[in-house]
Structure 1
């Protein structure tokens, strides 16, 4: 267990939301960046300058002559079978113990034809909670495998590794996440092309490589990802799980490749972060843990629809239709208008906190007798974490309400110092975010096949995984066992 003192100077919200906010730092690693703050809102998409070919063969990258991100036509769903980069895949056992009965997994399996649906295909991995700041997943990259841990981030769409530790928010934490050395892998290939992303505080830059990658019981050949050569503030790399090819990037992401390799049936993954400091967090690719919720999963459509979003920046927006609280021993109270309230919010595992309209934050803060510090942060008494109340978020006009326990909603930065789980979005911004202080209260299924987020209240009453994605919308037929 990492000491809380390590996090005392950190409020990391490694997030990739939307472009357009001013950067507080330009370029990666150009001096130390240890000032406590929020890593929020990337402000510049990187440019794709790769040639698409190295001396050792063809890779997923920009075509020759590309000098920037190619503006795609209005995207259409291309068959996942178009991703056929090469060798058949294997599925080694992952670290930890997956829930429920293990699927029958051959050690070597040829890629199946696109018309043949995968059955009983899912990959499970535990996640490590870093003091409520963020959640990491273990990757094994290369031949022989090199272990690194990266943040899972539903607010971005690419994988990168190797932050620069001497300019990170915590060199100790950074070094504990591991380092990947391409020259120590016999299967690594240099792709080329610059990777350059700036955040509200901090940035990263590097180049693209390709290598074999093991994740969540799966081994995937020829995965393209960025290897940083300079960065600041970030103390771990990032696994982006948002919409990728053919929208935001012009090569298949890790999630895309799981589908094209026949490892899962569709680009779907489920997430149960569990309660704060409960030491149980998991992600399942291609499956749903039916023992983490009760009753059916409720579909919440991505809103605005992807057809109305920037085709180069498709994200998991959902429409929140009510916000309220249930104080201990009292009836629920809703603080938003009872009719026609809409607030699109981004579901982002990479954000420690959630961000709302300031008027709503003020109302919620009053219920906790919050104070506001010089930086505008709402602070609350940590004793509220021990009370049996909830902060409530409604979707689909109240058809689904997620009740987040105080313990999971109030973020304890260090003992005796707690922040309200929702903070004001930047002035003039409508980039509202449902971060980990919300997600801990919900069981979520991110379904790119149906452009839907399936959700229900999170419980933990056992383990048992059901495959999803065999047909469009089949997640709706899953019933929780709790």
Structure 2
């Protein structure tokens, strides 16, 4: 979750973003070597076929951590950039400038800006500092585009305001250059404004923010065109829509699909839910949670109604552990027999939790997303006997992070202020449907993976207080 400081400054040259679409022939994947960033992170080149562009990626190594430190394809106009499911964040590659400088960044639905070049010396651990050095950096003087900048500056604070241990920050200067997405530059936007870090604290990778601005939202004025805005304005996609498929915790890859929906990656029909503002009235990719519960084999599922401020949840791919109000979290923690470790994390025996074929259930109106215990229980300490629930308590904005999002398929529609939700699944090859424009741009389609997985929806058995 990001907040912006009041120290932003903009030069007059930042007022206009020129629009154009760059397109070129694509090499066949079989004859194209993998592209590698300066630190050795490998992303195979893109390949074309039958009217789409496949954008595979490589796997980034997981650094060793402690519990304390744990805190594409193209079909029509759809572009898919694969994500790497790493231990603590989901990443994709952006290519900046001419020739392309490859940089690995976190995919973040909890913030709005693209920025690169964190100060690796301030990363949370030595392992993350070493990994940070391998993610690549952008050097403006090496680009022949030519780039513009620096102009203007901004300070961005990240983390939960109620938990100082989560708080990090970056101070950035702005540049403009060409940005390409996908291992082989599947799609490009030109004159894109982005941040280059002048100072940072506690960050070990750059960030690709995919949320609207906190102040202006999806339809408000912004000091420059955000990445998703530029993609639509320059004809890369038909409308400001992207799908997020983080996949299960034991999968290496998920995907973000700009301008498309992959019917081969979800079960049942997409349920449309309105985007709501955050608890302080700010613009977020947030929705209303209506129920929480737990389903255990051979037992009646327990569902609890949620209302008021407890219902407001932000969908944030940049957060690993979900952050939930105590009243909402208590029924889940009791059902899992979790115990507070004294530092705000909740422990459960690994073997018992992962052997149980149960789910933690999150209801969004008539749609329930069921998170298997094996995905909701995290091994953050490297100790096979003790695991942690993928949830901590907060008194601030609630966040559904990767521990929940990986069980769902989410289609974010900026233009129409909606999120379309389904149970994530995988049933064969991708079948990407391009999204058009207009009030019903996201098609009301069913996934190829059958009906919603898991037990039938349970009746509400209680209410959180």
Tell me the equivalent position of 1:265. Answer: 238
Contact (CA 8 Å) 2:105, 2:206: kept in 1 or not? yes
Q: For residues 335 and 203 of structure 2, what CA distance do their matches in structure 1 show?
A: 34
In structure 2, relative to structure 1, the CA distance for the partners of 1:346 and 1:274 (3 Å cut) is same
Contact (CA 8 Å) 1:300, 1:452: kept in 2 or not? yes
Q: For residues 47 and 414 of structure 2, what CA distance do their matches in structure 1 show?
A: 24
Deviation sequence 1:269-291 (CA, Å, 0-9, x none) = 00111000211211100001110
Aligned length: 392
Q: For residues 386 and 358 of structure 1, what CA distance do their matches in structure 2 show?
A: 26
Tell me the equivalent position of 1:455. Answer: 421
**2:192 aligned to 193, 202, 223, which one?**
223
In structure 2, relative to structure 1, the CA distance for the partners of 1:99 and 1:377 (3 Å cut) is farther
In structure 2, relative to structure 1, the CA distance for the partners of 1:359 and 1:276 (3 Å cut) is same
**1:412 aligned to 345, 356, 379, which one?**
379
Q: For residues 326 and 193 of structure 2, what CA distance do their matches in structure 1 show?
A: 40
Q: For residues 354 and 150 of structure 1, what CA distance do their matches in structure 2 show?
A: 21
Tell me the equivalent position of 1:121. Answer: 77
Q: For residues 248 and 327 of structure 1, what CA distance do their matches in structure 2 show?
A: 48
1:367 aligns with 2:335: yes
Tell me the equivalent position of 1:178. Answer: 136
Structure 2 unmatched ranges of 5 or more: 30-42, 54-73, 160-166, 450-465
Tell me the equivalent position of 1:51. Answer: 11
Contact (CA 8 Å) 2:20, 2:234: kept in 1 or not? no
Contact (CA 8 Å) 1:385, 1:410: kept in 2 or not? yes
Contact (CA 8 Å) 1:354, 1:421: kept in 2 or not? yes
1:193 aligns with 2:152: yes
Cα root mean square deviation, aligned: 2.6
Tell me the equivalent position of 1:276. Answer: 249
Contact (CA 8 Å) 1:154, 1:242: kept in 2 or not? yes
In structure 2, relative to structure 1, the CA distance for the partners of 1:278 and 1:89 (3 Å cut) is same
1:153 aligns with 2:121: no
Structure 1 unmatched ranges of 5 or more: 1-14, 17-41, 54-58, 62-82, 106-117
Q: For residues 372 and 253 of structure 1, what CA distance do their matches in structure 2 show?
A: 41
Q: For residues 283 and 99 of structure 1, what CA distance do their matches in structure 2 show?
A: 17
**1:421 aligned to 384, 390, 397, which one?**
390
Following superposition, the deviation at residue 246 of structure 1 comes to: 5.2
Following superposition, the deviation at residue 409 of structure 1 comes to: 1.2
Following superposition, the deviation at residue 335 of structure 1 comes to: 3.1
Q: For residues 341 and 333 of structure 1, what CA distance do their matches in structure 2 show?
A: 21
In structure 2, relative to structure 1, the CA distance for the partners of 1:125 and 1:333 (3 Å cut) is same
Contact (CA 8 Å) 1:119, 1:265: kept in 2 or not? no
Contact (CA 8 Å) 1:96, 1:126: kept in 2 or not? no
**TM-score, with normalisation over the residues of structure 1?**
0.76
Q: For residues 341 and 242 of structure 1, what CA distance do their matches in structure 2 show?
A: 21
Deviation sequence 1:388-416 (CA, Å, 0-9, x none) = 110001112xx100001111112221322
Contact (CA 8 Å) 1:354, 1:422: kept in 2 or not? yes
**3-state SS of 2:118 partner:** coil
Q: Stretches of 4+ moved more than 6 A in 1?
A: 97-100, 339-342
